[in-house]
Structure 1
Amino acid sequence: MTEKMILDGSRVAGEMKETLKGRVEALAAAGTTPCLATILVGDDPASETYVRMKGNACRRLGIESRRIHLDRGTTTGQLTEAIRTLNDDPLVHGILLQHPVPRHIDERAAFEAIAIGKDVDGVTALGFAQNAFGFAAYPSCTPAAILAILDYYRIPIEGKHAVVVGRSPILGKPVSLMLLNRNATVTTCHSKTSDLPGLLRQADIVVAAVGRPRFIQGDWIREGAVVLDAGYNEGNVGDVDYDACLARASAITPVPAGVGPVTIAMLLKHTVDAAEKAAATAGR
């Protein structure tokens, strides 16, 4: 039996952070502290956990984490005004709006209020368009993490058939475009797709981004496929049936310690990138 490759996201993220340390130190020596502002609306426990994790990751690298916690009753107008204030603050380099936001808020309007130069999570329509054309400064972090894992383990993309399960504007759609820009043939599946198992059995690369625990079954995976599980569900399980898919895949990301750590590392990288650009502009 061919040896299985476990795609260790913690290892990839660790090396990314080591590279970032020197860049953060150089910025600090020149008088700039990279700053990521995170906005949380309401009191969703999972969102609070995610924001806290991102804040802790920032502090460990010397990146300032500025947390804005707004009441659940915040209106769309109040949220967009808070975002515009951060846009105008030269000490803030990246803005992250934790989603989902309460239902009464127009999330898309809030995302669009983020200045493109501070859109470090790639959530704006302009950021999405730049990603589609292959020149986004800050592509969506989870799709970028998936590509980073493939590159780290030198898994070929060009000429491969990738099947993406999920079409959200910050995961399924952008990762489909990124794979297409790397010369993969891409099939994007969703809730209306006919014969999903049959399509998955044709895939060289499977990206699970559907948000349903253990949804993708082992017998849906072709022998030797590469499986990247971008899901994270209650109970620390992903969107694929890990043990069953492991039996058939040649390489697979675990959950946890797969795509998640690299997503956070990518967010930190984008924040440092933005801080470097701001420092270079200020020094002209």
Structure 2
Amino acid sequence: MMETILDRPRIGLLPVVRAAQAALAQGRGFSLVRLGDGEGAMLSHDAPHMGEDIAFCLNIWFGDQAIDGDDRRAMARGLERAMREADVLGLPRRAQLQVSMRYHEVFANLGRVLGARHPVVGDMALHFYLQWSGALGALVRDARRLVLIGCRDVAGQFGAHFDVPVVQWLLRGEARFPGIVAEPHWPIGYARMMARIGGVGPGDLVLVGAGVLGKAYVAGAARRGAVALDMGSVFDGWAGIISRDGRIGTGAEFSIPHLAQGGPADEAMRERLRAYLAGTNIADGAI
């Protein structure tokens, strides 16, 4: 399955945006779930050869909190259900397979998790392109309500730039950048958030930045008729936190005012987006 999906043409940003807009207008659920190296580790959490990798990821997410095998299995079940239910599955590019074995594990597990289902696939960096292109701003304006699930307090910024009701549900972030919530994300915060998600519905746009556990929030919101997008570390960019070296910055293209303006910051950014917007195959990293 790895070669088949790696070589399959991936949809670009524009089809994703149009599908999300249609779902908002029609009151249908829609989900974008992205899979990176951390998800690869979680999918193979019980494989002997992945022991060091899963320990590395758990330390990033939860610090020195004790996470046992039952915890990992429960997290993996939520992730796998989100993968099976996703309308668009964002996958790593071929070039990323050279970076870490954890990216390989994403593809190694797809057949087991998805079975006969052939998902619509895009790039795992779709969250960046939704932000950089400004296209996310159009979705916010189309929403009945904006629901933010993450560890960054950015509701005020969205409220200042968009005429849309904004609800924010905060969680504890990863160990290096935990944010203002002291309550552990797993299992207490997770259980509370899954219960809260029962309150979303058709016409809601739900943006999630909550690590590997956030995939279950995306799926849960979509099941209730919301449009739910896995925005990941873009939340950090909105809050001015550089949590991903070389990928998250503090420039205008990572700001909420940029979304309100509705377009790329400059011609160089437009050039970088053109191939993606055209829906070309970006499996080899051509963006």
Pair in the same fold by TM > 0.5: no
Using CA pairs under 8 Å that are at least 6 residues apart, name the structure with larger relative contact order, 1 or 2: 2
Computing the radius of gyration over CA atoms, which structure comes out larger, 1 or 2? Answer: 1
TM-score w.r.t. the length of structure 1 is 0.28
The structure that is helix-richer by fraction is 2
